[in-house]
Amino acid sequence: MLTPFKKPPGRELLDWQKTFNKSLNHTRATIERVIAHIKTWKVLHADYRRPYATFKTTISAVIGLIFYTLT
């Protein structure tokens, strides 16, 4: 798990630490948007209607389509 650098008392972060924090925050925000987007799907609020043996394949396809539309 990665965490951003905290500003030390009375000093500023180094440039590479600021760059790291910015990159990390960008990645975290993207992942949080994807999760929020998936949670808004009404189909996920209902029971899974297909055979349970196909669940892994189905959810993998859905996640692939989401990432395809985001790029």
pLDDT value, residue 42: 72
pLDDT value, residue 70: 77
pLDDT value, residue 14: 94
pLDDT value, residue 39: 82
Q: What is the mean pLDDT of each run of 10 residues along the chain (71 residues)?
A: 92 96 94 86 72 87 85 68
Residue 31 near residue 2 (C-beta atoms within 8 A): no
pLDDT value, residue 10: 93
* Residue ranges per structural domain of the chain: 15-70
pLDDT value, residue 8: 92
Give φ, ψ of 6 to 5 degrees: -95, 150
Instruction: Write out the two tokens for 6.
Output: 């905290």
